Amino acid sequence: MANIKSSKKAIKVIAKKTENFHELKARVKNCIRECDKAIAAGEKENASRLLADTQKYIDRAASKGLIKKNTRDRQKSRLSQKVKEMA
């Protein structure tokens, strides 16, 4: 356990940041899953709406350093390609 006041505060800050990152990462994964389900079900409108939400959360995760830029680009590209191929 930390003895110094700044160390105690740092522990609290790190815990809060970690919790927020876990929430964002879970939200990204859930959005990708929901979008894939809509694509599999053949729901074009729902899939394109979910794609926009998913891209927003992926960008947010990348801007916070939670995922790398290449990972962001790859995930967005694959999802958008799947939605386009639905036609």
pLDDT of residue 87: 64
pLDDT of residue 86: 84
CA angle 46, 27, 9 (to 5 degrees): 155
Q: What are 86's two structure tokens?
A: 């639905």
The mean pLDDT of the chain is 95
pLDDT of residue 1: 82
Give the domains, in start order, of the chain with CATH numbers.
23-86 (1.20.58.110)
> pLDDT tens digits, residue range 18-35?
999 999 999 999 999 999
Regions in the chain scoring below 70 on pLDDT: 87
Query: Cα separation of 12 and 9, whole Å?
Result: 5
